[in-house]
Amino acid sequence: MPTMSLPESLESVSGLDLHMHSTASDGALSPSALVDLCHARGVTHMALTDHDTLNGVPEASIAAARLGVRLLPATELSAQWRGMTIHVVGLLPTGASATMEESLAIQAEARVTRSEEIARRLEAVGLDDALARARKQAGSERPLGRPDFARALVEAGVVPDMAAAFKKHLGAGKRGDVKAHWPYLSSVIGWIRESGGVAVLAHPLRYGLTRRKRGLLLDAFAEAGGEAVELISGFQNPDVTRDLARQLLERGLYGSLGSDFHFPGGHLAPGSMSLAPRSDLPPVWCHPRMRDFAG
Ligand code: AMP
Ligand code: MN
Ligand code: MN
Ligand code: MN
């Protein structure tokens, strides 16, 4: 089936989204339902980026092939850098290496151990049977994440909504923000490169960093072999975006774009995000390893 090829600039692209979630992690739609929605919205090029897993990719690939949507196998890896949790999207045009597969199994185990610790900590603030409640919210056997606990807190009436759940109990530095001994930033970048993929620093504006500290993160990321950064993640301030573009240009990084879509009914949908500003930043789909996806 013919698919339009992508332009060579970030600002003139449409119908592309390189960051979305399905029920293989904390998204609400099954992988095939997500692909259906992308197709319905005119998204022709997509990456499924579930947290620490590629389990949704086979189902998504079948749906994508049926609809003529270009799908990149991908995952959003949890990592640590200077005591912070950092997310790295691995775009994997040729799939996962054996090392990546083993590492994802270890990530899944780390999530299980972490969910037990989160449950213990939330029981102390009044959520009894926390693990079972979070499991019920997840509605499947996948490893749990903080959103499952957030929903459990809401359903039990401990907090009024998800925002409050993160603000009071699960957000950065709160009781339920368990440092899961995620691998170092350099390790996850290594797995991605070794799989023949491109490492993309996810949502660099969402870590609460000053411009200077964000520069240090970008330096560390590039030093470890990271090659691209999300210039746009959902909706963001245009002035901040232009400044971020400068920081990426200075370091010779590629730019990527994604909605970070998780569920319908919110302010985001597949393919919905701020427009990229005019810049000389090369799009990640122009990376030599992404040629088949872009063409
Ligand atoms: P985890 O992967 O278990 O560390 O959970 C992180 C996920 O929680 C993110 O990928 C988001 O989907 C979600 N999340 C983080 N902060 C918030 C928030 N303030 N409100 C709602 N969801 C959030
Ligand atoms: Mn998420
Ligand atoms: Mn993320
Ligand atoms: Mn995400």
Q: pLDDT tens digit string along 149-179?
A: 999 999 999 999 999 999 999 999 899 999 7
Residue 51 Cα: closest atom of ligand 1: 2
Q: Would you say residue 2 has pLDDT above 60?
A: no
Domain that holds residue 226: 16-106+185-294
Minimal CA–CA distance to 276: which of 219, 228, 221, 234? 234
Report d(CA 193, CA 226) in Å as an integer.
Answer: 8
Name the residue among 6, 43, 27 with its Cα closest to residue 270.
Answer: 43
Ligand 3: distance of its center to the CA of 137 in Å? 20
Read off the pLDDT of each residue in 268-279 and give the average, rounded to a whole number.
97
Percent of the chain with pLDDT over 90: 96
CATH code (residue 260)? 3.20.20.140
Does residue 62 sit within a domain? yes
Q: In this model, does residue 182 exceed pLDDT 90?
A: yes
Residue 136 lies in a domain: yes
From the CA of 85, the nearest ligand is 1
Report the chain's mean pLDDT, rounded to a whole number.
Answer: 96
- Quickly state the pLDDT bin for 3 (edges 50, 70, 90): low
Distance from the alpha carbon of residue 188 to the mean position of ligand 4, in angstroms: 16
Query: Which residues are registered as beta bridge partners of 62?
Result: none
Instruction: Name which of 236, 254, 282, 224 is nearest 216 in CA terms.
Output: 224
Q: Are residues 102 and 21 in the same domain?
A: yes
- Domain match, 102 and 127 both: no
- Ligand 1: atom nearest CA of 146 is 3
DSSP state of 275: P
Nearest CA owner, ligand 1 atom 14: 147
Of the chain, the end-to-end C-alpha distance in Å amounts to 13
Q: Are residues 66 and 132 in the same domain?
A: no
Three-class SS state of 75: strand
Q: Is the pLDDT of residue 63 over 70?
A: yes
- pLDDT tier, 295 (very low <50, low <70, confident <90, very high otherwise): confident
Residue 139 CA to residue 135 CA, distance in Å, equals 6
Same-domain status, 38 and 102: yes
Q: Which of 118, 122, 144, 146 to mutate to test the pocket of ligand 1 (most atoms within 8 A of CB)?
A: 146
225-260 tens-digit pLDDT: 999 999 999 999 999 999 999 999 999 999 999 999
